[in-house]
Amino acid sequence: MKCINCEKIKNIDGFGGYLHYSSTRQSMDNNVNNGYFKIISTSQFEIVYQCNECHTKWALAEPDYPIAGYLEQR
CA distance 33 to 14: 25
On the question of pLDDT at 1 being above 80, the answer is no
Tell me the three state secondary structure of residue 42. Answer: strand
**Higher per-residue confidence, 64 vs 38:** 38
Least confident of 9-13, 62-66, 68-72: 62-66
Would you state the pLDDT for residue 65?
84
Would you state the pLDDT for residue 38?
98
Number of domains making up the chain: 1
Model confidence over 22-62: pLDDT tens digits?
A: 999 999 999 999 999 999 999 999 999 999 999 999 999 99
* Domain hosting residue 61, numbered range: 4-73
Tell me the three state secondary structure of residue 22. Answer: helix
CA distance 18 to 16: 7
pTM: 0.92
In 3-state terms, the chain is what percent helix, strand and coil (to 5)?
25, 35, 40
